[in-house]
């Protein structure tokens, strides 16, 4: 399976790592939409939020445990946004579950 984020996790494609543990890898988005734009991914291929169930939701829990640690590291004391794009209508472009952390400025309140 040729998955971009699986390859990034394995180090086959370079990325700017901001956090890593046994379950989670986080790196800077190549096309940042805010001063801080980090992608947080599970080290297990889950295609999208729609594929989360009780057999794999522990990976999602590990991601959400990592998010406040990353936010602190990135000095997002004033808040931030966590986004997941899912499927065609959600404009998900990489089919490996990931959460965007956006911050470092006041973000627009319009979501769609």
Binding mask 18-57 for ligand 5GP (x = CB under 6 A): ---------xxxxx-------x------------------
For tokens 């000095």, what's the residue? 75
**73 three-class SS:** helix
Q: Which is nearer to Zn ion, 56 or 104 (CB)?
A: 56
* Residue 67 binding ligand 5GP, by CB under 6 A: no
In the complex, the smallest distance separating the C-beta of residue 18 from ligand 5GP, rounded to whole angstroms, is 11
CA distance 106 to 103: 7
CA distance 36 to 49: 23
Name the helix (H) or strand (E) containing 71.
helix 57-73
* Residue 81 binding ligand 5GP, by CB under 6 A: no
Residues that bind ligand 5GP (CB under 6 A): 4, 13, 15, 27-31, 39, 85, 91-94
């Amino acid at each position: 399976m040729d998955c971009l984020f699986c390859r990034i996790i394995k180090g086959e494609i370079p990325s700017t790592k901001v956090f890593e543990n046994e379950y989670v890898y986080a790196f800077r988005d190549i096309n940042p939409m805010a001063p801080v734009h980090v992608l947080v991914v599970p080290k297990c291929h889950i295609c999208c939020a729609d594929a989360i169930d009780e057999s794999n939701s522990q990976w999602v829990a590990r991601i959400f445990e990592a998010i406040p640690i990353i936010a602190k590291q990135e000095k997002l004391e004033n808040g931030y946004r966590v986004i997941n794009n899912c499927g065609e209508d959600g404009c998900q472009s990489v089919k490996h579950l990931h959460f965007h952390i956006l911050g470092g400025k006041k973000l627009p309140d319009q979501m769609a």
